[in-house]
């Protein structure tokens, strides 16, 4: 009887620890994402994967839509990521110059991307939304990004100046460590997709200041 009571006490302690473990896991996940959100500027991770190596040669992000997420997943290769956003199924494929389409509807082919050298890599697609006047924090990434604007207008600021993109426009970003800030300086809401190649051993983004 005494042994049974001791076992019950162990079960009670273990059950009490479960919520704490889940909470700590959620905190760790949030820290790993380390998103550069800001006032009126929301960012969410759509999809990501870690890879040990990248395709050889100049790299591009091919952005396609498919009739369904299952169709996009069936067409994805080793460097493809799939997600649903804006009411569509998407396939984002990191590929070398001249590589053919995966048979979806081509929305953009962005590149060449700045070279990223790392022990291992994180490929990630973020979805960003901003109200007029909204802006991200000033930050940098341990890698390079590419932007595709779904609707609205984004202003991309670095120490080199400002670039503005409108709906259905795309741009390959800057080298690792470039300090940047994204903002919606227009009068309409911004909705964009951002594709990343970053060093998976480093924080995804870090706060910074312009020079």
Q: What residues in the chain have per-residue pLDDT under 50?
A: 2-32
Beta bridge partners of residue 148, listed in sequence order = 170, 193
What pTM was estimated for this model as a whole? 0.83
Return the ∠ at Cα 206 (arms to 168 and 197), rounded to 5°: 50
Decide: helix, strand or coil at residue 185.
Answer: coil
The domains of the chain are located at 1-33, 37-207
* Per-residue pLDDT at 33: 57
Report residue 102 as tokens. 């995966």
Decide: helix, strand or coil at residue 192.
Answer: strand
Angstrom distance (rounded) from CA 46 to CA 90:
10
Contact indicator for 146, 171 with CB cutoff of 8 Å: yes
* Per-residue pLDDT at 185: 96
Return the ∠ at Cα 135 (arms to 132 and 137), rounded to 5°: 170
Phi, then psi, of 10 in degrees rounded to 5: -65, -40
* Per-residue pLDDT at 99: 78
Fold assignment, 37-207 = Jelly Rolls (2.60.120)
Burial of 87 (C-beta count, 10 Å sphere; 0-12/13-18/19+): exposed
């Amino acid at each position: 009887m005494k042994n049974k009571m001791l076992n019950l006490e162990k079960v009670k302690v273990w059950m009490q620890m479960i919520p704490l473990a889940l909470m700590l896991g959620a905190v760790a996940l949030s820290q790993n994402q380390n998103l550069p959100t800001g006032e009126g500027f929301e960012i969410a991770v759509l999809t990501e994967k870690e890879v040990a190596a990248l395709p050889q040669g100049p790299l591009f992000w091919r952005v396609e839509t498919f009739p369904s997420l299952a169709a996009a997943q069936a067409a994805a290769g080793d460097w493809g990521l799939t997600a649903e956003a804006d009411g569509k199924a998407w396939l984002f494929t990191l590929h070398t110059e001249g590589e053919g389409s995966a048979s979806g509807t081509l929305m953009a082919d962005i590149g060449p991307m700045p070279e990223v050298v790392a022990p291992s890599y994180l490929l990630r697609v973020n979805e960003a939304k901003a109200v007029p006047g909204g802006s991200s924090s000033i930050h940098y990434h341990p890698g390079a990004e590419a932007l595709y604007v779904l609707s609205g207008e984004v202003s991309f600021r670095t120490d080199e100046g400002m670039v503005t993109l409108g709906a259905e426009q795309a741009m390959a970003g800057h080298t690792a460590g470039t300090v940047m800030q994204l903002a919606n300086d227009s009068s309409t809401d911004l909705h964009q997709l951002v594709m990343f190649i970053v060093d998976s051993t480093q924080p995804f983004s870090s706060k910074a200041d312009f020079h």
